[in-house]
């Protein structure tokens, strides 16, 4: 087991209460998106507007819009974004990220996402 489910769900609830959460992409996220229609810049400001737990395989996952019009959205493990250090939950999120990466390394999981796919948001917002 990679995550402590109860601790992960507690953090998810705390994050939901603080949405949107400012973040920046990691280098791994940018590399994974390189072949997509959108490029994510190193300094691009992202706003996490959705968060959920994707089980042990995905961990805490965050959703965000990658385009101003909201047509390109992305759901990605929280380990692939950098949270603004001024955010009240930054230390807790960072601790989760570090522990999850450590445990993934122990089981031999890849360090970076293999690829990411962007999906246009469906009409009607859902």
Distances (CA, A) of 78 to 71, 82, 123, 125: 21, 8, 26, 23
Let me know if residue 124 belongs to a domain: no
Let me know if residue 57 belongs to a domain: yes
Let me know if residue 44 belongs to a domain: yes
Distance from C-alpha of 28 to C-alpha of 102, rounded to nearest angstrom: 16
Residue 70 belongs to what domain range?
5-112
Question: Into how many domains does the chain fold?
Answer: 1
pLDDT above 80 (res 114): no
* Degrees to nearest 5, angle at CA 77 with 27 and 21: 85
CB atoms closer than 10 angstroms to residue 117: 10
Let me know if residue 18 belongs to a domain: yes
Contact in structure between 89 and 56 (CB atoms under 8 Å): no
> Which pLDDT value is given to residue 12?
98
- Tell me the pLDDT tens digit for each residue of 76-85: 999 999 998 9
Let me know if residue 32 belongs to a domain: yes
Let me know if residue 119 belongs to a domain: no
- Tell me the pLDDT tens digit for each residue of 75-112: 899 999 999 899 999 999 999 999 999 998 888 876 55
């Amino acid at each position: 087991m990679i995550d402590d489910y109860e601790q992960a769900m507690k953090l998810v609830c705390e994050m939901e209460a603080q949405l949107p959460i400012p973040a920046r992409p990691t280098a791994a996220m940018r590399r994974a998106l390189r072949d997509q229609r959108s490029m994510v810049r190193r300094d691009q400001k992202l706003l996490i507007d959705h968060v959920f737990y994707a089980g042990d395989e995905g961990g805490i996952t965050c959703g965000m819009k990658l385009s101003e019009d909201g047509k390109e959205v992305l759901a990605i493990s929280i380990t692939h974004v950098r949270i603004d250090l001024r955010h009240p939950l930054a230390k807790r999120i960072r601790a989760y990220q570090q522990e999850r990466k450590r445990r993934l390394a122990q089981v031999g999981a890849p360090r970076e996402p293999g690829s990411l796919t962007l999906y246009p948001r469906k009409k009607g917002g859902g």
